[in-house]
Amino acid sequence: MADAGNGRLEVNGERLLARLDQFAAIGATPKGGVNRQALTVLDRQARQLLANLGRARGFSIYQDPIANLFVRREGLDPNLPPLLIGSHLDSQPSGGRFDGALGTLCAFEVLETLQDHGIETERTVEVVAFTNEEGCRFAPGCMGSMAFSQKSIPQAWQSAKATDGALFADELAQTLADLQGAAMRPLGFPISAYLEVHIEQGPSLEKEGLPIGIVTGIQGTRWLQVTISGQTAHAGTTALSYRKDPMRAAVSSLNVLYDDIMPKDPQSRLTVGRFSLEPGAINAIPASVTFSLDIRHPNSEQLELIEARIRKVLQDHAAENGCDLAVNQLFDMAPARFPDALVSVLKNAATTANFAYKSMVSGAFHDALFINRVAPSAMIFTPCRDGLSHNEAEYVKPVHCIAGAQMLLASSLILVGG
């Protein structure tokens, strides 16, 4: 077995970095980031590139009905369910080069390294690129991993409209049709385990000077879409007592919530990422305002209490302003805890490979949260500069990208019997 002279199989770091550059060029933004949102032409290009690279190395390429893409390297025992490794290739609208792509390409690097050295594994290893992890073009997020874990695609998703007006059902059909030469397979086949490398998307590893985080779980997320409806009327002639102004209700309720939720519970998160007014005329009181709320907490009960508090504050402020309130829950992702046994495999791999690490809970959600419902799953985090992600300036040092791939290789070898 070829190695670096110390008995240890090594990934090809240069190749991994070149692949990261190659994928970052698809949807590259002028500020050095990536805009490659789910099921767009650019997302399809990235999927095709991964499929082509896989085919060139002699791997088989599959997709499933939600357009999850699989690159499969056969093991010796066809009766063993495969080990799945990967992440996603879609990005935020002003996303970085590493969120998703790093994990997908570390996984592909593991497959290529096994191939380079002719390593025969008992178990098949498959790389996956899950569809629409981000959820920013079509809600909810993690559609690919959710459908995989449920073995079905919820009917309601078909009519989901993108922020750019496109229909989910059309974009999915086109994405499936565009991928050349991939065999179709059913949703949710048996797997032995799932491992995902990802950037931390927060500052703690960098601050503590650690190359690796071993993720023991993921905090919960809920997404709400709020519409407050009032009455549109003339901006110049309508006195305060005649107004049913949904903007006033939105601003006053959000002020209360901003002061209430995060300052009182440092583990909680509250974000308004989207806000729109109808009809959007400079000289008319809006008829309605619609905004999104992203709420997170590591504890399910707290998440429930936060949502209840939000609904009450919104209701009170809407009523005070003579407005109506509609709250639509778009996404409810309970916190996940990864199995101790698999987390221990990662810790052993880190110790053997000499990587300093810490155990941590993920603040961002990931496909591993859903796959953990059907098979043991766990994650490896790498540091990122200033903890910045969902931002074009997102940056991971080359040495940390390579450490992520090396950790994934070492952990995978323990699980597949290489």
Q: Which residues are annotated as a binding site for Zn(2+)?
A: 88, 99, 134, 198, 390
Of 232 and 389, which CB lies nearer to ligand GLV in the complex structure? 389
Least CB distance to Mn ion at residue 175 (A): 19
- Return residues touching Mn ion (CB under 5 A): 99-100, 364, 366
Of 365 and 395, which CB lies nearer to ligand GLV in the complex structure? 365
Residue 357 Rama label (left phi>0; alpha psi -120 to 50; beta): beta
- Return residues touching ligand GLV (CB under 6 A): 134, 141, 364-365
Of 168 and 365, which CB lies nearer to ligand GLV in the complex structure? 365
Q: Which does 100 bind (CB under 5 to 8 A by kind): Mn ion, ligand GLV, none?
A: Mn ion
Closest of 144, 114, 120, 150 to residue 130, by C-alpha: 144
Least CB distance to Mn ion at residue 50 (A): 16
For residues 302 and 267, is the Cβ–Cβ distance under 8 A?
yes
Closest of 263, 232, 257 to residue 314, by C-alpha: 257
Of 220 and 418, which CB lies nearer to ligand GLV in the complex structure? 220
Closest of 98, 75, 7, 57 to residue 388, by C-alpha: 98
Name the residue with tokens 């049913």: 244
**At 274, which amino acid appears?**
R
Least CB distance to ligand GLV at residue 416 (A): 28
- Per-residue CA distances from 7 to 3, 16, 121, 245 (Å): 6, 21, 17, 70
Of 31 and 264, which CB lies nearer to Mn ion in the complex structure? 31
Of 42 and 364, which CB lies nearer to ligand GLV in the complex structure? 364
Torsion of CA 90, 96, 97, 98, to 10 degrees: -80
Q: Which does 27 bind (CB under 5 to 8 A by kind): Mn ion, ligand GLV, none?
A: none
Least CB distance to Mn ion at residue 86 (A): 11
Binding site residues, as ranges?
88, 99, 134, 198, 390
Q: How far apart are CA 204 and CA 201, in angstroms?
A: 9
Question: What is the SS3 string spanning 166-218?
Answer: CEHHHHHHHHHHHCCCCEECCCCCCCCEEEEEEECCCCHHHHHCCCEEEEEEE
Least CB distance to ligand GLV at residue 141 (A): 6
Of 134 and 171, which CB lies nearer to Mn ion in the complex structure? 134
Q: Which residue has its beta carbon closest to ligand GLV?
A: 364
Closest of 87, 179, 155 to residue 401, by C-alpha: 87
Least CB distance to ligand GLV at residue 26 (A): 19
Q: Any idea what the Cα angle at residue 350 is, between residues 345 and 353, rounded to 5°?
A: 120
Sign of the torsion formed by the C-alpha atoms of 7, 18, 407 and 195: negative
Least CB distance to ligand GLV at residue 273 (A): 9
- The Cβ of residue 300 has, within 10 Å, a number of other Cβ atoms equal to 13
